């Protein structure tokens, strides 16, 4: 081959860029479709990079701990994520799959292409369009919420059946919360003395009870086992899910059904979800509280007592005057008694 035949043309550079763009989009699509994206990435790397033919100088965009990638295996870790390959580099979230969200388009915008014999240097910008428009992230949030609800039920069931509920809770906490991946802001519903639980051990004490773990907090009765009664059902009712980048915040109510008597407890929540470096969405913020309820004042009690006394007198007066005392009594009962609003404990004097 003559030296002129060995020259790299601008058209070849642009074709290589186009092939690289298509490869990223293709790998993302295969990943999102549940296919073998690792094989696709391996094939693309073999076609597009010079590994095995020449030294490759590769400094990935999102690489800090392992800045340079002279080997094909290191490049593959970057493109598909550390968990997808043997001896993957922990900081790698999978650039070719956008950390799990995927890319729908990649466009090169060359500032300049410099040609010198069989070598070409290109500099410029490229633009990546995320496949995720928020709906996928919302689906991820809802999936974690479902998994959380199922975990509470499973831990309760394991406890009530005499199984190793502590191990079940530890497994669930590792899968659902970001401990070990990010800071976790956790303020449990029933925590007053140790309000905040920044470590996995703190969270475990809350969920399984202080007696089940070492150095547990004495106030913890074991929320995941309902203090020994268990939960049979947990239902999330989102008020809203707000997505910003790789973080989502959800606010709403969830309802817990007691396994012992079927009673339901309403709790208010704010959850924060973050996609971690291994591409999994986990909880990094959890704040729960019981609904606010107004206390009753002495003046209000005296007002109801006054209204009750006046109602008795009014009903009697209506009866003696030959009026519709039944309607008057029904109206008074509706205004003064909690029927239709709560359970009413009524033991009449002459009954």
SS3 content of the chain, % helix, strand, coil (to 5): 40, 20, 35
Query: What confidence score (pLDDT) does residue 135 get?
Result: 63
**Length of the chain in residues, anyone?**
351
Query: What confidence score (pLDDT) does residue 157 get?
Result: 96
- Number of domains making up the chain: 3
Under the banding of pLDDT at 50, 70 and 90, the label for residue 290 is confident
Q: Which of 3-12, 122-131, 173-182, 333-342 has the lowest mean pLDDT?
A: 3-12
In a domain, 2, yes or no: no
Same-domain pairing of 264 and 300: no
Q: Which of 82-86, 94-98, 185-189, 291-295 has the lowest mean pLDDT?
A: 291-295
Domain C-terminal end among 99, 130, 161: 130
What single DSSP character describes residue 7? Answer: P
Tell me the C-alpha distance between 84 and 75, whole Å. 12
Query: What confidence score (pLDDT) does residue 244 get?
Result: 82
Same-domain pairing of 143 and 280: yes
Q: How many angstroms from the chain centroid is the CA of residue 33?
A: 22
In sequence order, the 6+-apart residues with CB closer than 8 A to the CB of 266 are 253, 254, 255, 290, 291
CB atoms closer than 10 angstroms to residue 343: 6
Average pLDDT over residues 338-344: 93
Query: What confidence score (pLDDT) does residue 49 get?
Result: 97
Q: Considering only the C-alpha atoms of the chain, give the largest distance between any 2 of them, rounded to a whole number of Å.
A: 123
Percentage of the chain surpassing pLDDT 70?
A: 97
* 3, pLDDT greater than 60: no
Range of the structural domain that residue 200 is part of: 135-289
In a domain, 121, yes or no: yes
* E strand or H helix that includes residue 141: helix 135-160
Produce one character per residue of 159-172: b if its CB has 16 or more CB atoms within 10 Å, e if not.
bbeeeebbebbbeb
Same-domain pairing of 186 and 110: no
Same-domain pairing of 276 and 337: no
Same-domain pairing of 176 and 245: yes
pLDDT digits (tens, 9 = 90+) for 16-67: 999 999 999 999 999 999 999 999 999 999 999 999 999 999 999 989 999 9
Query: What confidence score (pLDDT) does residue 226 get?
Result: 94
Under the banding of pLDDT at 50, 70 and 90, the label for residue 4 is low
Nearest to 169 by CA among 219, 212, 204, 214: 204
Q: Which of 1-5, 22-26, 109-113, 158-162 has the lowest mean pLDDT?
A: 1-5
CB 112, CB 95: distance < 8 Å:
no
Average pLDDT over residues 81-95: 94
In a domain, 3, yes or no: no
Domain C-terminal end among 78, 111, 130: 130
Same-domain pairing of 317 and 284: no
Under the banding of pLDDT at 50, 70 and 90, the label for residue 316 is very high
In a domain, 5, yes or no: no
In a domain, 4, yes or no: no
In a domain, 174, yes or no: yes
* 136, pLDDT greater than 80: no
In a domain, 162, yes or no: yes
Query: What confidence score (pLDDT) does residue 190 get?
Result: 87
Q: What's phi and psi for 176, nearest 5 deg?
A: -100, -30
Domain C-terminal end among 235, 260, 289: 289
Nearest to 155 by CA among 214, 203, 217: 203
Same-domain pairing of 141 and 270: yes
Average pLDDT over residues 213-233: 94
Output the six-digit token pair for 258: 């007691």
* E strand or H helix that includes residue 202: helix 200-208
Average pLDDT over residues 307-312: 96
Query: What confidence score (pLDDT) does residue 275 get?
Result: 83
In a domain, 110, yes or no: yes
Same-domain pairing of 276 and 146: yes
Same-domain pairing of 250 and 309: no
* E strand or H helix that includes residue 161: none
Same-domain pairing of 164 and 120: no
CB 37, CB 23: distance < 8 Å:
no
- Does the predicted TM-score (pTM) go above 0.85? no
Looking up residue 201, the CATH number of its domain turns out to be 3.10.450.50
* 251, pLDDT greater than 60: yes
* 1, pLDDT greater than 60: no
Query: What confidence score (pLDDT) does residue 6 get?
Result: 85
Q: What is the mean pLDDT of the chain?
A: 93
Query: What confidence score (pLDDT) does residue 155 get?
Result: 97
Q: Which of 24-38, 130-144, 162-176 has the lowest mean pLDDT?
A: 130-144
Same-domain pairing of 85 and 160: no
Query: What confidence score (pLDDT) does residue 101 get?
Result: 85
Same-domain pairing of 203 and 142: yes
């Amino acid at each position: 081959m003559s030296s002129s035949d060995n020259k790299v043309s601008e058209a070849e550079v642009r074709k290589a860029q186009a092939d690289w763009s298509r490869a990223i989009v293709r790998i993302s699509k295969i990943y999102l479709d549940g296919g073998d994206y690792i094989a696709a990435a391996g094939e693309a790397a073999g076609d597009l990079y010079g590994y095995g033919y020449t030294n490759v100088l590769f400094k990935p965009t999102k690489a800090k701990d392992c800045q340079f990638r002279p080997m094909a295996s290191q490049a593959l870790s970057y493109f598909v994520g550390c968990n997808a390959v043997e001896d993957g580099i922990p900081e790698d979230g999978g650039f070719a799959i956008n950390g799990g969200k995927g890319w729908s388009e990649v466009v090169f915008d060359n500032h300049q292409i410099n040609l010198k014999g069989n070598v070409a240097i290109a500099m410029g910008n490229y633009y990546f369009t995320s496949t995720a428009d928020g709906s996928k992230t919302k689906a991820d949030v809802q999936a974690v919420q479902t998994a959380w609800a199922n975990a509470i039920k499973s831990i309760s069931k394991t406890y009530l059946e005499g199984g190793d509920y502590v191990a079940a809770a530890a497994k669930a906490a590792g899968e659902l919360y970001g401990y070990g991946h990010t800071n976790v802001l956790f303020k449990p519903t029933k925590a007053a003395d140790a309000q905040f639980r920044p470590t996995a051990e703190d969270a475990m004490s809350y969920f399984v009870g202080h007696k089940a773990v070492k150095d547990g907090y004495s106030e913890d009765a074991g929320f995941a086992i309902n203090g020994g009664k268990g939960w049979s059902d947990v239902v999330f009712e989102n008020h809203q899910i707000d997505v910003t980048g790789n973080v989502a915040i959800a606010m709403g109510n969830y309802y817990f059904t007691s396994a012992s008597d079927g009673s339901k407890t309403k709790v208010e929540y704010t959850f924060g979800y973050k996609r971690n470096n291994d591409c999994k969405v986990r909880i990094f913020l959890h704040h729960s509280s019981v609904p606010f309820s107004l206390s009753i004042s002495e003046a209000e009690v005296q007002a109801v007592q006054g209204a009750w006394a006046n109602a008795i007198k009014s009903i009697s007066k209506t009866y003696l005057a030959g009026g519709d005392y039944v309607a008057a009594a029904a109206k008074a009962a509706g205004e003064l008694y909690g029927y239709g609003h709560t359970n009413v404990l009524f033991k009449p004097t002459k009954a």
